[in-house]
Structure 1
């Protein structure tokens, strides 16, 4: 059986989970065995040969499960090919240019030796709870700013990096 790529995510309302599922679909279409799982459900990285880890951004910090995953698995992640993504800007800025990660995520990129980090737009709608979320929605600044085509393009670039390594072993 082919080694598996893990796409793990930290998502509170499901928006980042949907981005992770899109990335996983693209990796599967490229011929890679792929599992998409919530970061909180992953206990062991032994079965995986590469990891894509994403987290929703809240006030410049990754969602709690994504942060805990990175901390809990830091040694294994530092030895595996790793890509990181963030989901969160509630405007079109992520679609216009590659936004740098916030400082806390930038530190993870460096400490874990991630190959790349991408920021994708987020989604906030009337179902979100919390005082800040309700204020944003009430002000009319919520909405869906995710760019699934950009996620697909990014995942295709990851697949191109992983598939040649797979074919050379066959």
Structure 2
């Protein structure tokens, strides 16, 4: 397994925070952009060899929590006999050799992260020809309510509207992580205020049993057929 480390720099002034808040970049289900990270963030990449179907699991992550969700999904596919590449989305160069692709992202401004949408747009001609599945992680699903589930579902609208030609066979949202240690002091204060109003505490809300059950019972059958 390979881990990629990229140092994130502290935002230069409080004007950045003010501008992002005004633009709605921080809010319900939204984690702050990379420029406000306090620490290095590790993005997981791995591969498993097999003679089965070749699957790509590509993801965009802010603080690294979405990468572990992607890893959990990839592990299930490996156990089903697939040849799986797990990659941070910026390191995917060519998808032409894959029989299916799973694309996941954290949420920013009530949508997939822009680089994830750009990835779909860039590769849409090939993605239209193979099974594709979308997933996301968000804090909205801290609450297990119909309203929260609808909010999370709406976060897919950005990629669906921008690249309607690609029609995923399945879409799934998962609860994410709120970890203030990943943010610099300025944004930590902002996020604490926002999350307090929403009633969302700091914590890891990922349910890996649910994630892997979905990967096995729902995602894999949709990838296993052309």
- In which range does the TM-score fall when normalised by the shorter chain? 0.7 to 0.9
1:81-132 per-position Cα deviation (integer Å, ceiling 9, x unaligned): 0000011125523x55544132213426743111111111111212232655
Shift in Å at residue 149 of structure 1? 1.6
What TM-score, normalized by structure 1, do the two folds share? 0.83
Aligned length: 164
2: distance between equivalents of 1:106 and 1:36?
Answer: 23
Aligned to 2:215: 155
Aligned to 2:130: 80
2: distance between equivalents of 1:145 and 1:113?
Answer: 29
Note if 1:101 corresponds to 2:157: no
1:47-126 matched pairs, under 5 angstroms: 47-93=97-143, 95-96=144-145, 98-99=149-150, 100-102=153-155, 103-107=157-161, 110-126=164-180
Comparing 125-134 and 32-41, the one that deviates more? 125-134
Shift in Å at residue 33 of structure 1? 1.3
2: distance between equivalents of 1:128 and 1:134?
Answer: 12
State the structure with more CA Rg.
2
1: distance between equivalents of 2:124 and 2:110?
Answer: 21
Name the CA shift for 1:159/1:72 in 2 (closer, same or farther; >3 Å): same
Is the CA contact (8 Å cut-off) linking 1:124 and 1:137 kept in structure 2?
no
Structure 1: runs of 5+ lacking an equivalent? none
SS at match of 1:34: strand
What TM-score, normalized by structure 2, do the two folds share? 0.64
2: distance between equivalents of 1:15 and 1:68?
Answer: 21
2: distance between equivalents of 1:50 and 1:83?
Answer: 8
Name the CA shift for 1:11/1:41 in 2 (closer, same or farther; >3 Å): same
